[in-house]
């Protein structure tokens, strides 16, 4: 079974909520990415999203844009990200999703990239700029590679389109709780309960809610309506602050541990 599907099945059996963590691959370097991934696994993170650095990350706010820039400056490429995933796999079976823009996949070659990703140990892809309506060949090849195609639903997505999107997704549905780009917020959106209920009318897939969740308290609030909570910018911001400090991994892991405790206890 795909690791993502297996993890969410386990969470459901145990009546527990999940934590999905996003970091930029190669920020500040790929060895740090590997170490952080292993630390997150020890903390109890359920799914790791690795952002593959791209020059034009249109779905990302400033914090994650700068992380992508640092990753590129550190020499991070899609091939090196897959090498890092393979290195993580030597010590961990944490489910891994690549958060990626389609141009990088197209440049590599769709079929070849998906084969390489699966062989490295990737479990799913979240392709930010690939509309589901244009994902036919992509979905076919993803199924062959046993990779989960993660799709986004936004607060502005009409109900008929929600129905179409979730029928094509696999692994989990990512509900973007705010309009706009990624980034930290001082409060959670007040429409999460209604929107997750609407999405559930059309699918039995787990729903992970992200964008703007920055504190353990916010994560706990969102977990009341979600199957999993996604936290990214708040973690990436700490990585930016600590950089190559020897305290990077323990300090970031301490914060991620507080998110795990808020959601799971």
Q: Considering the candidates 6, 31, 56, 60, report the single residue annotated as catalytic.
A: 60
49 a catalytic residue: yes
6 a catalytic residue: no
CA atoms of 210 and 221, how far apart (whole Å): 12
CB count within 10 Å of CB 3 equals 21
Q: Considering the candidates 27, 46, 49, 227, report the single residue annotated as catalytic.
A: 49
Pairs from 112-118 (Cβ < 8 Å, separation ≥ 24): 113/78, 114/141, 114/142, 114/144, 114/145, 114/147, 115/145, 116/79, 116/82, 117/82, 117/85, 117/145, 117/147, 118/145, 118/146, 118/147
CA atoms of 163 and 167, how far apart (whole Å): 6
Catalytic annotation, residues: 49, 60
């Amino acid at each position: 079974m795909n690791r993502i599907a297996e993890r969410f099945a386990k969470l459901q059996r145990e009546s527990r909520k999940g934590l999905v963590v996003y970091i930029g691959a190669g920020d500040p370097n790929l060895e740090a990415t590997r170490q952080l991934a292993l630390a997150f696994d020890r903390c109890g993170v359920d799914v790791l999203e690795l952002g593959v650095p791209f020059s034009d990350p249109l779905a990302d706010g400033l914090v994650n844009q700068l992380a992508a820039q640092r990753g590129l400056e550190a020499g991070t490429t899609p091939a090196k990200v897959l090498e890092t995933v393979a290195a993580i796999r030597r010590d961990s079976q944490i489910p891994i999703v690549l958060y990626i823009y389609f141009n990088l996949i197209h440049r590599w070659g769709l079929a070849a990239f998906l084969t390489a990703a699966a062989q490295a140990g990737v479990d799913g892809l979240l392709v930010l700029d690939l509309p589901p309506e244009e994902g036919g060949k992509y979905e076919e090849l993803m199924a062959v590679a046993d990779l989960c195609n993660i799709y986004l639903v936004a607060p502005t997505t009409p109900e008929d389109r929600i129905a179409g999107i979730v029928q094509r997704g696999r692994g989990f549905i990512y509900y973007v709780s705010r309009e706009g780009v990624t980034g930290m917020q001082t409060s959670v959106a007040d429409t999460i309960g209604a929107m997750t209920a609407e999405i559930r009318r059309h699918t039995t897939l787990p729903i992970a809610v992200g964008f703007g969740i920055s504190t353990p308290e916010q994560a706990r609030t969102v977990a009341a309506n979600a199957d999993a909570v996604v936290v990214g910018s708040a973690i990436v911001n700490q990585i930016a602050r600590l950089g190559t400090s020897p305290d990077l991994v323990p300090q970031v892991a301490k914060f991620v541990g507080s998110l795990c405790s808020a959601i799971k206890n």
